[in-house]
A and B are shown apart, each in its own frame.
Chain A
Amino acid sequence: MKRIIIIYLLLLLTSSAFSQTEKLLVPSDLKQQTIITEPVTLHKGFFRAGLLLNYRVADRYFDSSGVKQYYRNSTWGSKSAYGITLQYGITDRLQVDLISEFMNTLQETQNTEIDPGTNTTVVTVDKQRGIGLGDSHLALKYQIIAEKERKFSLSGRLKATFPTGAKNPRNIKSENQYDLPVGDGTYALGLNLSARIITYPYSFSGYLTYTYNFTGEKIFITVDQIEKQFKLGNLFETGLSWNIHLNEWIVLGNEVNFYDEGEGQIEKAPSTLIPASWALSYEPSLIFQVYRFRLGESVKIPVLGKNVPADPLFVLMAQYIF
């Protein structure tokens, strides 16, 4: 009996003990979390800077009947926006964002006019370019229901838009020869509610946003150059997204987005210059987390819509967390 107990104890001595262990996360680990594993707001004291490049050309559009059409006349347009985002975690649940962008828009049109009576041909080339600082945004994001394991989080975001971009056409030479405005020329206030749940390696989220546009004044007709009071239609936006970790540092993102913008008004009357519009889009993305760097690319593809561009929007993103 004694020998058996000794053998048993010896066996126990050589055995490995397994127990539940908890990995300690240090701040440097927290700064390397992916868009799936990171919390919905930055940790207290964390600062993140980001660059964003948007690019879209004008080739097709959804008309007022919702039919996808090519632009028929000889016109070519492109729009690039180089955005900068600065984000700071005031507390573990409250984050402040400052967003601004540099715009580069181009629109070129050519028309050849032939007059057989006088045997003359006039070729008119209109080149309109808009370069400069666009509108800026200040946002506060708060975790209303903090994220817990296997439970969803709910966060609210209040975003104010400041018309820092030039709202009027500049350098006007003629009706069709001028520099394009790069800003909307109006203040706006938006409220966003979003919910997210993580079931590693997936995360699912949904959001609702409503943006109220205040009235402003700007030039709509370059001939008279008179500033007119206007109000953009209010914007409702909603979306669902689901992300998946392809490996530990690459995330495939998917989002379905819907927005509806009401008809705008000029001098308190509905105007065809600011028509009501809506779009349903799908946006796949790939996001690479390389230590504290985050690089991403996505394509927003308009699937259905009315009075909106039908060309894909390409987005490149780079972020670094300090």
Chain B
Amino acid sequence: MKYLSALLLINLFFFSSWLNAEGQNIPPARDKYQLLTMPYNQRQLTLYRGQLQAKAGYKFAVRAQSFNADGDLVYLKNNGTGSVYHYYFINLRYGLTNFIEMGAETNFLRRGIREATITVVSTTLTSTDRVTVNKLTESKGHGDIFLYTTVRLPIRYKWFDFGATGGLFLPSAKYEPQKPANTITSASLSSADTYTINLHYNNTNGYGVPVYLVSAVSKCSFRKFSAEAEWAMRTPMKEGKNIRWEETLTEKAFSYYDESYSYLLSNIYTFDVSLHYQATGWFNINLNGSFFRTKGGWTEYWGNKYENPEKRLINLEPGFELQISPSLTIYQVAGFPLSGKNSDAPFYVFTTVSFNMFPFMR
């Protein structure tokens, strides 16, 4: 009897642990999983309070064409001067409140631009000598660190949002070009005057001076559709100083010296408009139109200041946003140049992975 009662008590204990107590349950306004999985059409422009986002991206661009000063398309691949462009970036953002966020960003790029090969022929009665000149301008290195703050309307996002960003590119990158790595290779064993000169210039990445950025963005949603428009401007804080390498070729040996010059960066204006469709909670497709323009600025050559040529480019960018898990999202866009002026016109694919979390929220 005693044992049976004990058995019963043990059973009751386990049964009670299986019972779910149902009562009045007031769910929290939004838990972190809801916030992390918020679809684009319901998401505000800045991060949520306490949200940390780390992004890493890679852009692969094929520079097979460019727009000249008249806005005509020049097919670079036809004269063998096409090239590719590798661009990597990392971005870290943190939501201080539901309407203020801070962020930092930097990048790394690598590209090599070839110019058309030129051969100079020298014909005498006894021989024909050829000097071929190849020119490659390589740009490689880390970009400046960009620090910024974004504020948005202090209301809960329903169908309209507006935000503004202010930031500064700190001139943290090595911006002075490195010494050229020119070489000479003999193309003919029979003639000492037939050879190839390979000019190889080594540029870096970075503005060299602090650059301000201001931008304004607005977004509105209607059911599964959303539209977003962003205007941004970059302007230098001051004039900068840089060096330019010059070379002298004597007896098939190069000697180099550098000359200092001053410059003022051009202002850069961008305007993006995107239309989004939220196909499901985890998949958003979009079509973005991007306008880029530079204006002003100058560069010093031989003591004279020459105005920088104005550049323009309009791109069309279809893309998508795919939520893989609450913390992981992938973005991908492909860029197609439509028109421009004094600008490269690359086709590109830009892939970004975003990791999101609330480090201080249970």
Q: Which candidate, B46-54, B80-88, B264-272, B292-300, is the interface stretch facing chain A?
A: B80-88
- Report yes or no: B8 in contact with A112, Cβ–Cβ below 8 A: no
- Report yes or no: B138 in contact with A70, Cβ–Cβ below 8 A: yes
Q: Please report the C-alpha to C-alpha distance between residue A75 and residue B132 in the assembled complex, in whole angstroms.
A: 14
Is B198 interfacial (CB-CB < 8 Å)? yes
Is B325 interfacial (CB-CB < 8 Å)? yes
Q: Please report the C-alpha to C-alpha distance between residue A292 and residue B325 in the assembled complex, in whole angstroms.
A: 21
Nearest chain B residue, comparing its CB with the CB of A60? B112
- Report yes or no: B121 in contact with A115, Cβ–Cβ below 8 A: yes
Of the candidates A71, A127, A312, the one whose C-beta lies within 8 Å of that of B114 is A71
Residues of chain B from 298 to 354 with CB closer than 8 A to chain A in the complex? 324-325, 328, 330, 349
Q: Please report the C-alpha to C-alpha distance between residue A114 and residue B114 in the assembled complex, in whole angstroms.
A: 19
A4-B8, A76-B80, A311-B84 in contact; A57/B62 too (CB < 8 A)? Answer: yes
Return 15 A-B CB contacts under 8 Å, by A number: A8-B11, A60-B112, A70-B138, A76-B64, A76-B77, A108-B78, A110-B79, A110-B81, A110-B116, A111-B118, A112-B116, A114-B119, A114-B121, A116-B120, A125-B78
Is B260 interfacial (CB-CB < 8 Å)? no
Is A73 interfacial (CB-CB < 8 Å)? yes
Q: Please report the C-alpha to C-alpha distance between residue A11 and residue B120 in the assembled complex, in whole angstroms.
A: 101
Of the candidates A5, A11, A73, A312, the one whose C-beta lies within 8 Å of that of B117 is A73
Is B15 interfacial (CB-CB < 8 Å)? yes
Q: Please report the C-alpha to C-alpha distance between residue A1 and residue B114 in the assembled complex, in whole angstroms.
A: 97
Is B248 interfacial (CB-CB < 8 Å)? no
Q: Encode A66-103 as 1/0 by CB contact (under 8 A) with B.
A: 00001111111010000000000000000000000000
Is B76 interfacial (CB-CB < 8 Å)? yes
Interface residues of A (CB under 8 A from B): 1, 4-5, 7-8, 11, 15-16, 57, 59-60, 70-76, 78, 106, 108-118, 125, 127, 246-247, 250, 286, 311-312, 314
Of the candidates A111, A125, A250, the one whose C-beta lies within 8 Å of that of B119 is A111
Residues of chain B from 6 to 56 with CB closer than 8 A to chain A in the complex? 7-8, 11-12, 15, 18
Q: Per DSSP, are chain B's interface residues mostly helix, strand or loop, or mixed?
A: strand
Minimum C-beta distance from A13 to chain B (A): 12
Of the candidates B60, B77, B119, B134, the one whose C-beta lies within 8 Å of that of A72 is B134
Which of A5, A73, A108, A247 has the most C-beta atoms of chain B within 10 angstroms of its own C-beta?
A73
- Report yes or no: B328 in contact with A246, Cβ–Cβ below 8 A: yes
Count class of interface residues, chain B: 35 or more
Q: Which residues of B contact A111 (CB under 8 A)?
A: 116-119, 132
Which of B5, B79, B134 has the most C-beta atoms of chain A within 10 angstroms of its own C-beta?
B79
- Report yes or no: A74 in contact with B11, Cβ–Cβ below 8 A: no
Minimum C-beta distance from B73 to chain A (A): 16
Is B250 interfacial (CB-CB < 8 Å)? no
Of the candidates B60, B76, B132, B134, the one whose C-beta lies within 8 Å of that of A312 is B60
Q: Which residues of B contact A116 (CB under 8 A)?
A: 120, 122
- Report yes or no: B84 in contact with A112, Cβ–Cβ below 8 A: no
Q: Which residues of A contact B64 (CB under 8 A)?
A: 76
Q: Which residues of B contact A1 (CB under 8 A)?
A: 1, 4
Of the candidates B5, B15, B118, B324, the one whose C-beta lies within 8 Å of that of A11 is B15
Q: Please report the C-alpha to C-alpha distance between residue A171 and residue B119 in the assembled complex, in whole angstroms.
A: 28
